[in-house]
Amino acid sequence: MTEIYRWDFEMDTPLGILTVTGANSYISGIKHDNPDSEFANYNESLASFKSSMKALEKQLSIDPKLNFGDSDFAIKDEWIAVAISVKNQLIEYFLGELQDFQIPFYHFSGSDLENDVWSEMLSIPYGYTTSYKSIAEAISRPKSFRPVGRAVGKNPWSIAIPCHRVIGTNGKLVGYASGLSRKSWLLAHEARVVGS
């Protein structure tokens, strides 16, 4: 039986600190801290936006510092390689240079419905949105859009599994575990990249 070692690292993003958690060579979570934080609308012309993009670019050359609950073992090279890859993919996403993540997700450990919802969200194209109702229909549970909404909210892999692309049937931004101002920013960012 393989021993599971858990680790994490933090990275600064235009939307605040993002924490990436791992288990051996897999990613077990990607979450922004403090969902109540408010962020300005996506605006590339602001000086603060430009400086945050330059700060992101600098992070590409810096390896993440992994934190472990137990430091009495040797850190394996493949764990570092996974952490570096995920950190760089997230940076490239925020820079508008990456649309499809290649992330080794730690097994989907939710309910059957949650696992189906998380898998379905992976099929939402970059720069597009879908509704909770559409996801419910796609996973053959057409009357389960409220449970689907709860499953979307429990997504452990923010951004990489794009729960921010799920909106209300009426087109309104509703529910996002990391906060609606982040959801709005992410959708505007992707719309700009697709439109350019």
Active site residues: 163
Alpha-helical regions (H) of the chain: 47-59, 77-94, 112-121, 132-138, 145-153, 180-195
> HSE-up of 34 (CA within 13 Å, CB side)?
7
CA distance 20 to 32: 9
Would you put residue 37 in left (φ > 0), alpha (ψ -120 to 50) or beta? Answer: beta
Q: Which long-range contacts (CB under 8 A, 24 or more apart) does 116-120 make?
A: 116/141, 117/148, 117/151, 117/152, 117/155, 118/151, 118/155, 118/157, 118/161
CA angle 68/92/161 to nearest 5° reads 70
The two structure tokens encoding residue 121:
């969200």
**What is the rounded CA–CA span in Å between residue 94 and residue 59?**
12
Q: How far apart are CA 194 and CA 196, in angstroms?
A: 6
User: Distance (Å, rounded) from C-alpha 1 to C-alpha 188?
Assistant: 45
